Structure 1
Amino acid sequence: MSKLVYGILPALVTPFDDNLELKIDAVAPLVRSLLETNISGFFVCGGTGEGRAMTVPERKAMGEAAVKAVGGQVPVILHVGGTTTEEAVALAAHAPTVGADAVASVAPANRPNDLAAAVKHYTAIGSASDLPFYVYWLASDADRGVTAHRFLEAMADVPNFSGIKFTDTNLYLFQQLVDLSGGCLNAITGPDEMCAAGMIMGSDGAIGSTYNIMPRIFCGMYQAFQEGRVQDAMKAQTSANRMISILISVGVLAGIKAMLGWQGLPVGPPRPPNNRLTKEDELRLRRTIEALDFEVV
């Protein structure tokens, strides 16, 4: 099976209004603005997209709106993981009906650190459609005793298993997954602050939250690496990490959503359990960015 995605894929934020209701009409403007920056695809309703804070009907509506706005220009991966396997299967079965290109899922919520339970969960999701299936590997959910060989062996019979979104700082394990798969695994890294390091360790690309506000920096980083300009890629990473450090100080998702609003893309605050920015935090964020003279778009 050929690989579906390469390059930089924003983990698309989900727009809400001030009452935290889904704001579907804000999806298309956000997608259009990102498509203008040479991004390579979208990851929808993941952690950044607050999928697990949404109802199944809301997630279906968000997925459909995102796919429609993209209009086939780049691949769209819908994250379907949720509270139950049944919920994930329902979302996976719905994904091809709206034109999604692939589905992904985290480990089951009730057995996150159990590889055998995870494989059963992934098998049910992979069987729900003919779309490529990606494991959303979260460090907090992973079976810490698992080796790359054991993971790939366990996943061998999961229908449509095609790739991984690896949100973990253990890049040795990531490189082992790339190597032992013979390069067949569509291997995508998750930590934005380690994007360039992931490329060095063999990633095909990256999915991340801050790509919503810094797409050109990360697309430039990817292009530099593809052209062999590793030092330029590392400089871009250093620049991006300055912004990431600022966002961490106020709350990453709330900060990203506030910054999109400043760019004329009102996407509202995040839902709980993520915190809203206080007025003081938003003012501090704006002043810090202005002091750095940092261009994010």
Structure 2
Amino acid sequence: MNSVKEKMAGIYPATVTPFSADGSINRLAMLEIMKRNLEEGAGGLFIGGSSAECFLLSPRERKNAFEVASELKGKTNLIAHVGAVSTCQACDYAKYAKELGFDAIAATPPFYYGFGSREISRYYHDIYEASGMPVIIYNFPGNTGKEFNLADPVYRELFCSPAILGVKHTNQVVYQMERIRSLNPDLVVFNGFDETMVAGLALGADGSIGSTFNFMLPHYKLIFDTYKKKDLELALELQVKANNIMEALCSVGLIPAIKYVLTAQGIDAGEPRRPFLPLSPEQKQYLEQVLRQNLVAG
């Protein structure tokens, strides 16, 4: 494993954005979540991603979240998600993250307008050239609608270019993750779906970035450590329990559910941004039952 992979390896919570009653970012709650996760063994923090409701935040709020996380600079690996539809906006976020001392940046591809591979490749090169930081490609086709077709020579060249540090593979087709890693073994590869952690590790992921790690990182740290010790039977047993929880979370609404559980654990994460809706009493009761039956640590 090269030095960059060694430094970046591990499991990272995709940190949520807690809101106060007036709708502003609750900086103290965000710091409390991050510090707790570090005490629980997180290898780093992924800031401003999907779990942070990034596309529901204003540009100033996205930068505010980076500022809060930068208080932990030097204490852990910090990755800033800078993705935007506009290249100019993404470059602005990337340059600000660098100024704040983040260790790495990540970006979803630009979406909505049906951009082609040449346009998407140029977007990543522009971010790299503007910030001086190679980018982790946030591969999330289920949300962005953009597939990185590795038969396309433009994408093959992109994944092998100095502009790209790695990939956050939030795609249940883990075969593609292995193909990307095979194309460029020097990339830092993160499994991006919590529910496929064991599969991702089996196919060579250096670590994992997950939304549910906010409130159940010890459970996933146990999966990660157990897999590394080659106790595959226990790792799979723990993954199944985690997947039971994930199934319940998704059935009631992933982001509202994560915020509800954090608040129930004593850290007031507030309500999600509309159009997300808070959980009903029945949904909360169902979720609490599933957590009691399946959460091993956390």
Give TM-score scaled by structure 1 length. Answer: 0.92
| Residue type of the alignment partner of 2:158 | A
CA distance in 1, matches of 2:92, 2:115: 23
Is 1:28 the counterpart of 2:22 in the alignment? no
The number of residues matched between the two structures is 293
Q: Secondary structure at the match of 1:2?
A: helix
Look up the match of 2:103.
101
Matches within 5 A, 1:51-200: 51-68=54-71, 70-111=72-113, 114-140=116-142, 141=144, 143-144=146-147, 146-147=149-150, 150=153, 151-157=155-161, 159=163, 161-181=164-184, 183-200=185-202
Q: Is the 8 A contact 1:148 1:177 kept in 2?
A: no
- How large is the RMSD of aligned CA atoms in angstroms? 2.0
Q: Residues 109-133 of structure 1, C-alpha deviation per residue, up to 9 Å, x if partnerless?
A: 2445622211111111111222331
Deviation at 1:177, TM superposition (A): 0.9
Q: Distance in 1 between matches of 2:26 and 2:218?
A: 26
Which residue pairs with 1:265 in the alignment?
267
Q: Which runs of 5+ in 2 are unaligned?
A: none
- Residues 101/265 of structure 1: CA separation in 2 closer, same or farther (3 Å cut): same
Which has a greater percent of helix? 2
Change in Cα spacing, 1:257 to 1:200, as seen in structure 2 (3 Å) is same
- The Cα offsets for residues 249-272 of structure 1, whole Å up to 9 and x where unpaired, read as 211111110000011110111112
* Deviation of 1:295 (Å): 4.7
Return 5+ residue gaps in structure 1 as ranges: none
Distance 2:178 2:152 in 1: 12
Matching residue of 2:12:
9
Counterpart of 1:222? Answer: 224
8 Å CA contact retained: 1:78, 1:100: yes
Measure, in 1, the Cα distance between the counterparts of 2:114 and 2:180.
Answer: 19
Percent of aligned pairs with the same amino acid: 28
